[in-house]
């Protein structure tokens, strides 16, 4: 599972740091940023396979960030994360090409499985 790269985008610093640390401990090349704007900028030089993207963020929303990521990197798989689910944002995210939509907090093992599924889809 450690042959792919993940970018975590979340404005909650503690969640971001914990997720990056746990994925890195599993041998996954993982980096994190705290905003949609930083994610778009980071992806100019960091060629990841999967993005874990928070829906509700200050500044550029997760939906806006997803739109930008898919415009410039259409093959990257994006898993949307939210602690405040709305059916509308889930539907919109899926229409824009999100791989899946997960609720926070989430168990770590199912998250790893979802990352693996997204990676396999990207490379199939």
Q: What pLDDT digit, counting tens, does each position of 22-58 carry? A: 999 999 999 999 999 999 999 999 999 999 999 989 9
Round to whole Å and give the CA distance between 110 and 90. 19
Report pLDDT for 1. 53
Report pLDDT for 2. 58
Domains, the chain, with CATH or none: 5-122 (3.40.50.2300)
| Across 108-114, average pLDDT | 94
Q: Across the chain, what does the average pLDDT equal? A: 92
Report pLDDT for 57. 92
- How would residue 87 be classed by pLDDT, with cut points 50, 70 and 90? low
Report pLDDT for 86. 67
C-alpha angle 121/61/91, rounded to 5°? 55
- How would residue 19 be classed by pLDDT, with cut points 50, 70 and 90? very high
Segment (H or E) for 71: helix 62-72
């Amino acid at each position: 599972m450690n042959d792919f790269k993940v970018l975590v985008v979340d404005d909650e610093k503690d969640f971001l740091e914990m997720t990056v640390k746990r994925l890195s401990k599993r041998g996954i090349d993982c980096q994190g940023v705290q905003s949609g704007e930083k994610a778009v900028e980071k992806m100019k030089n960091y060629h990841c396979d999967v993005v874990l993207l928070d829906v509700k963020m200050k500044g550029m929303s997760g939906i806006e960030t997803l739109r930008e990521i898919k415009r410039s990197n259409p093959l990257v798989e994006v898993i949307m994360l939210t602690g405040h689910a709305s059916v509308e944002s889930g539907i919109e995210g899926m229409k824009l090409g999100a791989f899946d939509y997960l609720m926070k907090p989430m168990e770590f093992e199912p998250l790893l499985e979802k990352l693996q599924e997204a990676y396999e889809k990207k490379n199939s």
